[in-house]
Structure 1
């Protein structure tokens, strides 16, 4: 049974507390350890809470909440438990998201003092600043769920919190900027890179456009990823940079690990680059050549931001339609669709694990594809020529 008593504080005056037993045993004395719960304005409030506590203890559902542990301390436990399953880029991104967006609001707050209304207030604030508020809510929610799982908290205050809609969500979308190039724009761009760029950079952009690979996949390539006899290239890793160190990592999903056929032009460019790179070096052709395809003059990998910087420089200098490096991947997909490839074929070539990603690109395909689709529909809907009188068959003639 719980015991009740008054106590006095300077801030709140007379208050009530109760002492109860959870069944824990003091390892030194061998006696049951008492626990205390404070902060009740009346004895009736204390009795009501004590009855609930005793019921939970009897049912085996009682969780003794730690009133001192902060959200950040629980986050560190969660991160230590889960981060070994993350790849280095994910670990880096998660740390950054918590540091910049989540911990400033929750970090120093006692986790069992955090209410649902406070969570809603925080999400409302974050939603006004960034677009990826759903992502932030998801990560904060994982920490609260971890606290419940570890018996640190009774419940997750993030449950039921709503992502507020922005005013723009209710408006019809304006015309989106085209993040891909048409066929004539690609020819012009590659003509410029051939004349104005180094051979390495021309090949890098050619490969991005002709394979649709991600920039990290292209920059991680080694010569033994290319089979010049079978005319194929193997994409199974990506380049990651952290703390001044370049690390090749396995591709994120099984779908990303793929082998693609190469056209004759791309093969010829690669062979020429390998010959230039091999001058003065005796190096076997085949699986033993693990040198990187794209490097700086000192042999170190190219930094991941370089393709972005170089592309922006070329676009600006030549007044080209502005796209991103990722837009070169969309360009490849658009041209595949224009050439008649199916959505499934494009999905496999780009290494999409979810066909929705491919479908999203398909909805923004080139003008030529849309015109072909319209032409096919028009031809399908063409009516047969009218039947002349001589072709009419009556029932008597049958």
Structure 2
């Protein structure tokens, strides 16, 4: 394989170099498939000729073995722009997930934006993760950022833009937590049955537009608020008392006119839920009221069959998720309940009450549209463990009464 060694930039006319120029090499590495001309590789910066010869020998070995890779000069910022549509198309990713990935890329850009992919080392990447921790980002946030970083560099490796993946051995540092902190994190907050009754009563008395029916259905079905807002009348089977979950609502800008209806969160999320007669009756009453509004407004009503359609402004458009959250916070305050709870807390509440009623974890998972959700398992175990303790206490009391 042809090549030569030389001192790069040396202007010394004497045989012995006195200007301190570094050694370099230029060697042939094959034929350009497009032009048919020979391809050459030049590398410099070696202190001695022996170092240059050793590096050239290693390169020649890679070329002969077919393992040589010409790393790209693309910067991290440039490649992330290319990676995002590849990621989106290959996995049929929902818009909400794309927004999350963009947010996580934004956290990595201050460290790597203008650096070439090939120049980013394992230490640099680990230092970035450690610095994010020092800035106060939570474990889950940093895990998400690391997950996105891994996908980006693995794709660069797959496309043969880099030789090594700097994220390969990276880890997310976590603080050791007390038992109390772990217990508090593992079991999410939810309403006890007496609190739920009070909350629903408050919604019936003090609720704003749709509040009583919205929170009744969330509490009685455990569906996600995005699934609720997307519901249409065709999804309700009044005869068999079921509600079909076939889509979810997406509207990151909270503009009622600019919503999207997307497939459910997961394949398992597409399901049919059996509901109580009280829910069916409440839906029937709501439909009567809505039909009167549609009749009065005529063409001014955006009639797309939505159950929870706006009746004050932007008539007929589905209500916005943010409004459901705000309305819940208002009602919790009126009822004197925990204002930190969210519509998703009603999903956990539904889980806890089903567990208390003796429904199996498998049936609860199926109803909620889960394949494997640790949070749901934690709520279920918490409730059932409390029931076991209660049973044990009752047994002890019974035995003491016999003495």
The answer to whether the 8 A contact 1:220-1:248 is kept is yes
**Gaps (5+ residues) in structure 1?**
283-288, 385-398
Cα-to-partner distance string for 1:310-367 (whole Å, 9 max, x where unaligned): 11122223321232221110001100011110111111111112153431222343xx
The one of 248, 255, 271 equivalent to 1:238 is: 248
Aligned match of 2:357:
339
Distance 2:192 2:398 in 1: 34
**Residue-pair matches, total:** 370
Measure, in 1, the Cα distance between the counterparts of 2:285 and 2:150.
53
Q: For residues 86 and 340 of structure 1, what CA distance do their matches in structure 2 show?
A: 37
Q: 1:281 to 1:321 in 2, by over 3 A?
A: closer
CA RMSD of aligned residues (A): 2.6
Residues 1-398 of structure 1 mapped to structure 2, 5 A cutoff: 1=1, 2-8=3-9, 14-25=21-32, 27-28=34-35, 30-66=36-72, 68-84=73-89, 85-99=92-106, 101-128=107-134, 129-131=136-138, 132-166=141-175, 169-174=176-181, 176=184, 179-198=189-208, 200-242=210-252, 244=255, 245-279=258-292, 281=294, 291-296=305-310, 297=312, 298-322=315-339, 323-365=341-383, 370-377=385-392
Query: Would the aligned equivalents of 2:202 and 2:334 in 1 still touch at CA under 8 Å?
Result: no
Instruction: State whether residues 304 and 316 of structure 2, in contact with CA within 8 Å, keep that contact through their aligned partners in structure 1.
Output: no
Cα distance, 1:137 vs structure 2? 1.1
What is the TM-score when the length of structure 1 is the normalising length? 0.86
Shift of 1:242: 4.3
TM-fit CA distance, 1:370: 4.6
Shift, 1:171, TM fit: 3.0
Alpha-carbon distance between aligned partners in 2 of 1:171 and 1:198, rounded to the nearest angstrom: 42
* CA distance, structure 1, for counterparts of residue 326 and residue 119 of structure 2: 47
Q: Is the 8 A contact 2:251 2:260 kept in 1?
A: yes
Checking the alignment, whether the CA contact within 8 Å between 1:25 and 1:31 is kept in structure 2 is yes
What is the CA distance between 1:8 and its match in structure 2? 3.9
1:42 to partner: Cα distance:
2.4
SS at match of 1:363: helix
- Structure 1 window deviating more from structure 2 (292-301 vs 12-21): it is 12-21
For 1:255, what is the secondary structure of its paired residue? helix
Q: Conserved in 1, the CA contact under 8 Å of 2:157 and 2:165?
A: yes
Runs of 5+ consecutive residues of structure 2 not aligned to the other structure: 11-18, 296-302
Q: 1:320 to 1:121 in 2, by over 3 A?
A: same
Shift of residue 249, structure 1, vs aligned partner: 0.6
Contact 2:7-2:22 at 8 Å conserved across structures: yes
Question: Does structure 2 retain, via aligned residues, the 8 Å contact 1:238–1:250?
Answer: yes
Write the distance in 2 (CA, Å) between the matches of 1:271 and 1:371.
Answer: 38
Q: C-alpha distance in 2, partners of 1:25/1:65?
A: 16
Question: For the structure 1 residues 187 and 378, does the alpha-carbon distance in structure 2 shift closer, same or farther, using more than 3 Å as the test?
Answer: closer
Pair 13,248 (structure 1): closer, same or farther in 2 beyond 3 Å: farther
Q: Distance in 2 between matches of 1:251 and 1:14?
A: 64
Task: Point out the structure with the larger helix share.
Answer: 2
Q: 1:295 to 1:383 in 2, by over 3 A?
A: closer
- The one-character-per-residue Cα deviations of 1:111-154 (angstroms, maximum 9, x if unpaired) are 11111111110010122332221221121111111111111111
